[in-house]
Structure 1
Amino acid sequence: MAIRRKIFASLAALLGFILAGVVQASADYNMRPGVTETSLEAYDLHMLVIWIMTGIAVVVFGLMFYSIIFHRKSKNPNPATWSHSSVVELIWTTIPLVILAFLTVPSIQLLLKMEDTSDPDLSIQVTGSQWKWHYKYLDKDIEFYSTLSTPREQFENFSGDAATKGENYLLEVDNELVIPANKKVRFLVTAEDVIHAWWVPDLAVKKDAIPGFINETWTRVPQTGVYRGQCAELCGKDHGFMPIVVRVVSEQDFEAWVEKKDAERIAAEKAAAEAAAKSWDMDKLMALGEQVYNGKGTCAACHKPDGSGMPPGFPALKGSAIATGPVKDHIDIVVNGSTGGMQAFGKQLTDAELAAVITYERNAWGNNTGDKVQPADIQAFKAGNQ
């Protein structure tokens, strides 16, 4: 009896160790609960499965250790003559079926709920591209690109003395996606080049962005705050630099934000028209072009700041046939992109920015073609290709 008490004490200690590990994992390494109703339901279902698995592990390992100790050869030198038990086989077949049936009902209910995008209060088209997100509010006259705002010198640490990393290193953007709290927001997710995935863990939203297809998902966030996510599909060189930032605000603040974006759009359109109407000198074109090349245009991400590129995937612009060849061909590939992976910048940049960055590429790094591309040239090219 003393041995049995020791065995059961050991099993109790094992159970305590397992339970302690589950609690610790829940606190430090577990799936995050999130903030939406669906994310909390997914977390509760996840924890239910974890506890069922823990119970199964305790029973199975308990029986295994019991059999090892009390049915060992030294204690029972004569083996049993029976080969199986139909009752035991029925039990260990029935119990898993009951558990699976028990888990099927809440799982299906939750999946159906997560797929129900009907009757949204707001619809937003999310388009992934290499390597940024484009947001278009289908109920508003608002659309913009959202790109990583972490300075490149913080993560391109080739010299080993990079700048100090910020609080939201690699999870900060220049334009946040803003949505109202307590409203059902539908996302129509697609891509324009390769497969991406739009993932915000706290909102229980993760959807593949596939070129030529539109996937739907939704969320309703009950509380204001900032929620961060990332592209969750390996999509190329800068896959790790496609963060997502969703700012949830009150309904009143959202309406104020919409009015502000409308005013910014009108001002930007006016400024772009004024910039496109004038003739730019070489110095101004080169200054703006360098700024666009290394910043907003993200050209340096593929072609490098010195124009040397990363062949064969990302060709050099320094001395290239595009940058030193016919101007029209250069405008065409920047505005419309190419099938080789070059994305189209015709809608991402203003006519003045397009003219400036093309001028910069044709005269930087020793190219020195002397060509000055004006915004009027971009407008004429677009008009001829409509």
Structure 2
Amino acid sequence: MTTGGIRIKAWAATACALLCGVAWANPKPGQLNMPRGVTEWSERPYLLNNVALGVCVVIGVLVFGAMAIAMVRFRKSRGAVAEKWTHNTTLEIVWTTIPVLILVVLAYLATGGLTTFADTTGSQMTVKVTGYQWKWRYDYVEYRGKAIDKVGFMSRLDAQSDETRQLGSGLDPHAVQVDGENTYLLNVDEPLVVPVGVKIRFVITAGDVIHSWWVPDLGWKIDAIPGIVNAAWATIKTPGVYRGQCAELCGQDHGFMPVVVKAVTRSEFEQWLAQRQARAAPAPAATAPAPAKQG
């Protein structure tokens, strides 16, 4: 292969990585846009993304279209002569006012979205998420007004992906699958189990460096910062398994700390929670035998 061909392939790979990065945490065949999400709130960022994209497309067509027309119709080789005027006050007012109005509308939509997803009042459940190099810890704090004690666990990259990623393993990443879905670097040994139809408050922090907890189908991502507790909420509407990743460069194994949220029905979650609480409960103390009576 020629040097030029190698360069073209390298540039193509780089462009693909940059353009498709948003889909890495939740890959779907042919995915080009962000997912709609499965929560009550996730429609807002999806709408805002599409509105902003539409605005950018319209501006791009107008600006680059005017440039193309100017370069083709008014080029020097066709005898075009540049105008001598210095400015046009009406035009300057128009092209200043329109962008300001567009920015105000986008800022209004974005601010409304930020204030609503950060408002966790009325939550029926609280989960604490803590990022570590390079895993996540989940602690169930409260559910429907009752405190939860000693139900928590570490969530790490699954063993099959971990074995496959090792240099010289010879294993095929495409063979790492769950129910026919390729889950290489996207699966964990123990997912976060939550109920559908319940407003869940997530409190997110970190124990070492800055991480970022991101599940695209929830519609948001939150930085996990040592010494700071950030909060957001989600009410998941549809049962299923939703995958994400750490979205903040946090060290050499940053790419190997996925997030998996398993949403189940409320009855299934309550059964699962009862089992975990029973497992965490201390064993009853043995009863000492009564002393023998003296004759």
TM-score, length of structure 1 as denominator length: 0.59
Structure 1 Cα separation of the partners of residues 186 and 283 of structure 2: 32
Higher RCO (CA-CA < 8 Å; seq separation 6+): 2
**Aligned counterpart, 2:7:** none
**Aligned counterpart, 2:176:** 165
More strand by share: 2
**Aligned counterpart, 1:245:** 260
Structure 1 residue 201 corresponds to structure 2 residue 216: yes
Q: Using the TM superposition, give the Cα deviation of residue 75 of structure 1 relative to its aligned residue in structure 2, in angstroms.
A: 4.0
Structure 1 Cα separation of the partners of residues 117 and 87 of structure 2: 45
Q: Using the TM superposition, give the Cα deviation of residue 162 of structure 1 relative to its aligned residue in structure 2, in angstroms.
A: 5.8
**Aligned counterpart, 1:147:** 156
Structure 2 Cα separation of the partners of residues 50 and 220 of structure 1: 26
Percent of paired sites with the same residue = 43
**Aligned counterpart, 2:129:** 126
**Aligned counterpart, 2:138:** 135
Unmatched segments (≥5 aa) in structure 2: 1-22, 24-29, 143-147, 287-295
Does structure 2 conserve the Cα–Cα contact (< 8 Å) formed by 1:150 and 1:169?
no
Structure 2 Cα separation of the partners of residues 78 and 231 of structure 1: 56
**Aligned counterpart, 2:228:** 213
Residue 82 and residue 225 in structure 1: after superposition, are their counterparts in 2 closer, same or farther (change >3 A)? same
Structure 1 residue 102 corresponds to structure 2 residue 105: yes
Structure 1 residue 54 corresponds to structure 2 residue 57: yes
Q: Using the TM superposition, give the Cα deviation of residue 71 of structure 1 relative to its aligned residue in structure 2, in angstroms.
A: 2.4
Which among 233, 238, 259 is matched to residue 274 of structure 2?
A: 259
Which secondary structure state, in structure 2, belongs to the residue aligned with residue 137 of structure 1? strand
Which secondary structure state, in structure 2, belongs to the residue aligned with residue 160 of structure 1? coil
Q: Using the TM superposition, give the Cα deviation of residue 173 of structure 1 relative to its aligned residue in structure 2, in angstroms.
A: 1.7
Does structure 1 conserve the Cα–Cα contact (< 8 Å) formed by 2:164 and 2:170?
no
TM-score, length of structure 2 as denominator length: 0.76
Instruction: Letter of the 1:80 partner, please give it.
Output: E
Q: Using the TM superposition, give the Cα deviation of residue 253 of structure 1 relative to its aligned residue in structure 2, in angstroms.
A: 1.2
Q: Cα RMSD (Å) of the superposition?
A: 2.4
Q: Using the TM superposition, give the Cα deviation of residue 78 of structure 1 relative to its aligned residue in structure 2, in angstroms.
A: 4.2
Does structure 1 conserve the Cα–Cα contact (< 8 Å) formed by 2:156 and 2:257?
yes
Residue 236 and residue 67 in structure 1: after superposition, are their counterparts in 2 closer, same or farther (change >3 A)? closer
- The superposition leaves residues 239-266 of structure 1 with CA deviations (integer Å, 9 ceiling, x where unpaired) of 2221111111111111111111122223
Structure 1 residue 189 corresponds to structure 2 residue 204: yes
Q: Using the TM superposition, give the Cα deviation of residue 41 of structure 1 relative to its aligned residue in structure 2, in angstroms.
A: 1.3
**Aligned counterpart, 2:240:** 225
Which secondary structure state, in structure 2, belongs to the residue aligned with residue 28 of structure 1? coil
Which secondary structure state, in structure 1, belongs to the residue aligned with residue 183 of structure 2? coil
More helix by share: 1
Which secondary structure state, in structure 2, belongs to the residue aligned with residue 248 of structure 1? strand
Residue 153 and residue 91 in structure 1: after superposition, are their counterparts in 2 closer, same or farther (change >3 A)? same
Q: Using the TM superposition, give the Cα deviation of residue 76 of structure 1 relative to its aligned residue in structure 2, in angstroms.
A: 4.2
Does structure 2 conserve the Cα–Cα contact (< 8 Å) formed by 1:146 and 1:175?
yes
Which structure would you say has the larger Rg? 1
Q: Using the TM superposition, give the Cα deviation of residue 213 of structure 1 relative to its aligned residue in structure 2, in angstroms.
A: 1.5
Structure 1 Cα separation of the partners of residues 121 and 212 of structure 2: 22
**Aligned counterpart, 1:381:** none
Which secondary structure state, in structure 2, belongs to the residue aligned with residue 38 of structure 1? coil
- Where in structure 2 are the equivalents of 1:219-368 lying within 5 Å? 219-266=234-281, 270=283
Does structure 2 conserve the Cα–Cα contact (< 8 Å) formed by 1:155 and 1:162?
no
Does structure 1 conserve the Cα–Cα contact (< 8 Å) formed by 2:212 and 2:247?
yes
Q: Using the TM superposition, give the Cα deviation of residue 193 of structure 1 relative to its aligned residue in structure 2, in angstroms.
A: 1.7
Residue 251 and residue 80 in structure 1: after superposition, are their counterparts in 2 closer, same or farther (change >3 A)? same
Structure 2 Cα separation of the partners of residues 81 and 161 of structure 1: 69
Structure 2 Cα separation of the partners of residues 105 and 227 of structure 1: 29
Q: Using the TM superposition, give the Cα deviation of residue 83 of structure 1 relative to its aligned residue in structure 2, in angstroms.
A: 2.2
Which among 72, 81, 84 is matched to residue 81 of structure 1?
A: 84
Unmatched segments (≥5 aa) in structure 1: 1-24, 275-386
Does structure 1 conserve the Cα–Cα contact (< 8 Å) formed by 2:239 and 2:263?
yes
Which secondary structure state, in structure 1, belongs to the residue aligned with residue 168 of structure 2? coil
Structure 2 Cα separation of the partners of residues 124 and 63 of structure 1: 53
